[in-house]
Amino acid sequence: MPDVRLPGSSRWLHLGFALAGLLLALPALAATKQARPFHDDEADAPYKVWNSTPAITMPPLLLDVSDTSVVVEWMTDSAADGSVRYGEHALDRTAVAVHDGLRDVGTFHRVVIDGLRPGHTYQYQVASRRVVALKPYWPERGNTVQGETLRFTTLDAARPTARFAVITDTHEKVSRIHTLLGEIRKMPEDFVAHLGDTVNWAASEQQLKDVFLAPTAEGLGGTVPLLYVHGNHEYRGPFARELGPYLHAQDGRYDYARDDGPLHLIAVDTGEDKPDDTNVYAGLNDLRDYRREGLARFGAALADARTRSAPFTVVLGHQPDWGWTGGDNAKWTQLANRAHVDLFIAGHEHHFMHIKPGERGNDFPILVVGLDQVAWVEANGTALKVRVTDSTGKLVDAFTLARKRK
């Protein structure tokens, strides 16, 4: 630029304009650089890939393991899709979160891996691709975040032994979850069962994540699966109707059956603890038919051939009296008696109870796990051993059940 030909004052004026222009341009340049689509993991993608990478804000939680499948859940800070690479010897297979032909896009990710072999250990790695704008054509993507490679083992009805730990009623107390799961992680458990009342009432996704999902995922380290049982407190609050996608078993329900070595496990949903017409529910609870259906499903699960062939049948439920059933409580006990159930493990009472056979019309012991307690269950073909400890490891109760004739 021929500045030297200008009079002195004009020259400085020109320089001043040039500097001001440059200063004005700087933020624009910076903004352009930040917002520029950045081709990272998909350098040749024909669509926009922004330089924006999701952060994993909840590490993987393994839920509802069976002998051939498992659910993997995790969360990201921004909208993304979800996939899991997995395999026995290499990450050579992929499962994705998809509904009706479209990849799920959000901050919560849930992927079901199935077609697995019983009793086999698999490595897996979660991945989420940032989705910046869901336009009808040319949606805009971002970068991909990957979790660390972790391992899980499927259940196996054919193995000779099984062991699992039970906690319950953590009621939003994160330190309780960390302490109890810290103890449990010292032992090689097949899975951990949580018998419900994870929240005082369900408020939001953020609350569920903060007080239950994330601390549980951290405590279980992405390697020990969780079997979740529905508590009465999860029936309450503005987010109660939205809990299914986070907590349901694979078939979209809260009751299910699983087999692990000598154990036939039946998880039941014991619903609310008060009748539908109790004023505090303002006419918005309608559990009567749901509980009747639950009773029929409990009967069907107990009628399964595995109830006779498995050395032990263990029922997992939240309320030890089956909750409010509309008057059918004795029918639940009768069904369990008729099927020769060996043990019912429950929570809800917040204190330890060992209800012996005969005390409530029950032919089987009912173990009520208290707050800050762990029940440790171990079974082989002839004996079912149970220990209950408090959060310091002090023994609260221990008993052994022998295999019954069925």
Give the gyration radius of the chain's Cα atoms: 27
Q: Which is nearer to Fe ion, 82 or 323 (CB)?
A: 323
Q: Which is nearer to Fe ion, 208 or 339 (CB)?
A: 208
**Among 190-198, 209-217, 276-284, 325-333, the segment contacting Fe ion (CB under 5 A):** 190-198
- State which of residues 81, 189, 197, 342 lies at the interface with Fe ion (CB under 5 A): 197
Dihedral-angle region of residue 310 (phi above 0 means left; psi in -120 to 50 means alpha; beta otherwise): beta
Q: Are strands 191-194 and 343-346 parallel, antiparallel or unpaired?
A: unpaired
Separation between Cα atoms, residue 86 and residue 124, nearest integer Å: 4
State residue 333 phi and psi, 5-degree precision: -65, -40
Minimum Å gap between C-beta 302 and Fe ion is: 24
List Cα–Cα distances, 300 to 124, 264, 338, 339, in angstroms. Answer: 34, 13, 12, 11
Separation between Cα atoms, residue 375 and residue 398, nearest integer Å: 9
Residue 305: which residues within 8 A CB-CB, separation 6 or more?
none
Minimum Å gap between C-beta 388 and Fe ion is: 18
User: Total number of residues binding Fe ion (CB under 5 A)?
Assistant: 4
Question: Does position 109 bind Fe ion by CB under 5 A?
Answer: no
Question: Does position 76 bind Fe ion by CB under 5 A?
Answer: no
Question: Does position 172 bind Fe ion by CB under 5 A?
Answer: no
Separation between Cα atoms, residue 11 and residue 24, nearest integer Å: 20
Q: Which is nearer to Fe ion, 82 or 196 (CB)?
A: 196
Minimum Å gap between C-beta 374 and Fe ion is: 18
Question: Does position 163 bind Fe ion by CB under 5 A?
Answer: no
- State which of residues 144, 232, 333, 373 lies at the interface with Fe ion (CB under 5 A): 232
Minimum Å gap between C-beta 323 and Fe ion is: 9
Separation between Cα atoms, residue 367 and residue 316, nearest integer Å: 10
Minimum Å gap between C-beta 274 and Fe ion is: 11
Minimum Å gap between C-beta 235 and Fe ion is: 10
**Among 211-219, 228-236, 285-293, 387-395, the segment contacting Fe ion (CB under 5 A):** 228-236
Minimum Å gap between C-beta 349 and Fe ion is: 8
Minimum Å gap between C-beta 347 and Fe ion is: 7
State residue 97 phi and psi, 5-degree precision: -85, 115
Q: Which is nearer to Fe ion, 231 or 261 (CB)?
A: 231
Question: Does position 348 bind Fe ion by CB under 5 A?
Answer: yes
Q: Which is nearer to Fe ion, 128 or 170 (CB)?
A: 170
Question: Does position 234 bind Fe ion by CB under 5 A?
Answer: no
Give the residue at shortest CB distance from Fe ion. Answer: 348
List Cα–Cα distances, 167 to 101, 239, 263, 307, in angstroms. Answer: 38, 23, 18, 24
**Among 102-110, 129-137, 144-152, 348-356, the segment contacting Fe ion (CB under 5 A):** 348-356
Structure tokens at 361: 């019309």
Residue 367: which residues within 8 A CB-CB, separation 6 or more?
343, 344, 345, 346, 353, 354, 355, 375, 386, 388, 397
Q: Which residues bind Fe ion (CB under 5 A)?
A: 197, 231-232, 348
